[in-house]
């Protein structure tokens, strides 16, 4: 029997543990006397506790804006959103153009310009696009937009407690302020129910804007004047964000009951153009007509540039909840996580030379006891990772490796015999790495502790293969209670870990 055979045994063992809660008969079902492999099983209790993170790394491409009350704790969660603006590489903006409308008509488009040759931007707006929201769509909310004074930098780790305004990155004067609702009847007129409709709310930026002692007609007028002065600063997003516009900061200022999940903020600059149509062939050759139009250019705040969400939670209340001995919690964003203390020494006792083929842990939910109209959703995806590795995992932009980090998705009643739970089907790599750390004399007090963190996973698909491309902290609103592990004794703890061992028989 070689190591390939042992790997096969481990794979089959994993298949069995994935579909059955018990492992009592698995050894006899996998091997016979000729295999020379001994498979054994055991089950142990797990201890769990709630954990209050100070903050989490906020490098998501979804922005969150608004303020809601957690119906479970009656505490408030506030989201403020920053986005930079993306400039297409070597793109020309505010340019006149000539093109053929068809074989016989030539169109000449000329932009009305100021005496210095710059475009006269008459009006500017920001469209905030959101693909979903939490809360009451009719609640009146208010937000203000501030121009950034200096850019947040790529490669720097900005956490949810980082507030660009209080950190000195933001001009004190807002350039726009507006009351809005998620169901914005001023613009949708019932169209919001159409398939494919893009939900947005519009902020107008038409007040005078002063920068470096110069006053411009509006914020878009400032950008147009900067383009006329130094087009090279529009060569790419880095130059634009460092020398023209470091970004826009959206701050919640009033209202409670709604949180927008933003995927784009589009700055649109409107200006007048004169369009001339010339007939250059055919019966009407030589005819021409001139029409005045309102045209525009725009810049997007998308995933190509930096975005950030600042989150304000009630940390005092989170600490009180973490002390609850009846359960543990998962609360997003940046609210509460759950840690598990694994019985590593007990698992490896008398199995020091065995391989851990499988280690399955199931953590069940506790259903809400209250019925609120706007309950926070159940977190969908959880990652388990050693406590001391969590910070570096996110800061290094690591992905799930199935050795020291694993993930699972919430299992509802309709999809599994182990329902209303989070099933970590095989975390054997974490058990093995913790045991090796213990043998190597680690000084960490967390050597046998792992943390369960809500995450968002991005994937890429090539042909028929889908791979994980990015893992970030889950910044959406979510909450759940979990049963609390209380002992390493499997007969006493509501959380257990079932282990399958494999080794060669030397006899």
Structural domain range at position 137: 76-311
The confidence score (pLDDT) of residue 416 equals 56
Same domain, 333 and 268: no
- Domain shared by 336 and 226, yes or no: no
- Position 197 scores a pLDDT of 61
* Tokens encoding 429: 């790599």
Instruction: Tell whether 307 and 380 lie within a shared domain.
Output: no
In a domain, 333, yes or no: yes
The tokens for 162 are 């980082």
The answer to whether residue 25 sits within a structural domain is yes
- Alpha-carbon distance values, 402 to 41, 53, 362, 407, 408 (Å): 21, 24, 17, 8, 11
Q: Rounded to 10 degrees, what is the CA torsion of 430, 436, 441, 447?
A: 10
Same domain, 272 and 123: yes
Average pLDDT over residues 310-327: 94
Among 384, 381, 365, residue whose Cα is nearest residue 481 = 365
Sign of CA dihedral 239, 240, 246, 248: negative
Place of tokens 């139009």: 293
| 311, 335, 354 - which closes a domain | 311
Tokens representing 305? 């540039």
pLDDT-above-90 percentage for the chain: 71
275 plus 363 within the same structural domain = no
Please check whether residue 249 is in contact with residue 165, taking contact to mean a CB–CB distance below 8 angstroms. yes
Q: How crowded is residue 302: how many other Cβ atoms within 10 Å of its Cβ? A: 18
Asked whether the whole model's pTM tops 0.95, one would answer no
User: Could you tell me if residue 419 is inside a domain?
Assistant: yes
Lowest mean pLDDT among 32-46, 319-333, 471-485: 32-46
Least confident piece of the model among 22-36, 152-166, 317-331: 22-36
Domain limit, last residue, from 281, 311, 341:
311
User: Do 104 and 46 have their domain in common?
Assistant: no
User: Does residue 12 sit in the same domain as residue 128?
Assistant: no
**How many residues are listed for the chain in this entry?**
507
Is 107 part of a structural domain of the chain?
yes
**Whether residue 253 sits in one domain with residue 114:** yes
If asked whether residues 127 and 208 sit together in one domain, one would say: yes
What distance in Å separates the CA atoms of residue 160 and residue 57, rounded to the nearest whole number? Answer: 6
> How do residues 196-216 score in pLDDT, each as one tens digit?
567 899 999 999 999 999 999
Higher pLDDT, residue 154 or 184: 154
The average confidence (pLDDT) of the chain is 88
Alpha carbon 294 to chain centroid distance? 37
């Amino acid at each position: 029997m070689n190591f390939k055979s042992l790997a096969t045994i481990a794979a089959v063992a994993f298949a069995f543990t994935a579909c059955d809660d018990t492992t009592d008969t698995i050894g006899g079902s996998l091997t016979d006397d000729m295999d020379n492999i001994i498979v054994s099983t055991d089950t142990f209790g797990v201890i769990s506790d709630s954990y209050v993170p100070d903050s989490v790394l906020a490098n998501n491409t979804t922005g969150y804006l608004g303020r809601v009350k957690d119906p479970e704790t009656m505490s408030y969660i506030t989201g403020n959103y920053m986005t930079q603006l993306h400039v297409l590489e070597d793109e020309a903006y505010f340019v006149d153009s000539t093109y053929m409308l068809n074989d016989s008509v030539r169109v000449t488009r000329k932009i009305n310009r100021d005496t210095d040759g710059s475009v006269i931007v008459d009006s500017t707006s920001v469209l905030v696009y959101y693909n979903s929201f939490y809360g009451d769509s009719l609640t009146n909310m208010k937000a203000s937009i501030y121009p950034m004074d200096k850019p947040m930098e790529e490669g720097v780790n900005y956490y949810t407690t980082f507030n660009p305004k209080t950190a000195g990155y933001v001009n004190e004067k807002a350039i726009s302020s507006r009351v809005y609702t998620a169901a914005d009847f001023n613009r949708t007129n019932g169209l919001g129910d159409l398939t494919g409709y893009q939900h947005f709310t519009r902020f107008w930026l038409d007040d005078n804007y002063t920068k470096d002692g110069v006053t411009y007609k509006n914020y878009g007028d400032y950008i147009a004047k900067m383009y006329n002065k130094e087009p090279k600063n529009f060569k790419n997003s880095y130059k634009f964000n460092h020398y023209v516009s470091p970004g826009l900061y959206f701050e919640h200022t009033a209202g409670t009951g709604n949180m927008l999940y933003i995927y784009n903020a589009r700055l649109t600059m409107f200006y007048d153009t004169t369009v001339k149509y010339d007939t250059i062939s055919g019966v009407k050759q030589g005819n021409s007509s001139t029409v005045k139009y309102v045209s525009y250019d725009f810049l997007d705040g998308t995933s190509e540039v930096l975005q950030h969400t600042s989150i304000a939670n009630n940390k005092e209340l989170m600490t009180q909840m973490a002390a609850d001995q009846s359960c543990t919690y998962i609360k997003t964003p940046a609210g509460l996580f759950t840690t598990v203390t694994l019985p590593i020494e007990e698992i490896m006792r008398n199995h020091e030379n065995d391989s851990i083929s499988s280690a399955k842990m199931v953590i069940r939910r506790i259903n809400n006891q209250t019925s609120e109209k706007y309950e926070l959703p159940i977190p969908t995806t959880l990652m388990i990772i050693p406590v001391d590795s969590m910070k570096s995992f996110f800061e290094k932009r690591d992905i799930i490796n199935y050795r020291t980090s694993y993930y699972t998705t919430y299992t509802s009643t309709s999809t599994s015999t182990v329902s209303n739970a989070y099933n970590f089907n095989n975390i054997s790599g974490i058990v093995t790495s913790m045991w090796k750390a213990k043998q190597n004399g680690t000084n960490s007090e967390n050597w046998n502790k792992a943390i369960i963190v809500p995450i968002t996973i991005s994937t890429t698909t090539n042909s028929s293969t889908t791979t994980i491309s990015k893992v970030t902290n889950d910044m959406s609103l979510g909450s759940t209670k979990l049963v609390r592990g209380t002992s390493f004794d499997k007969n006493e703890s509501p959380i257990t870990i079932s282990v399958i061992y494999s080794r060669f028989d030397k006899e």
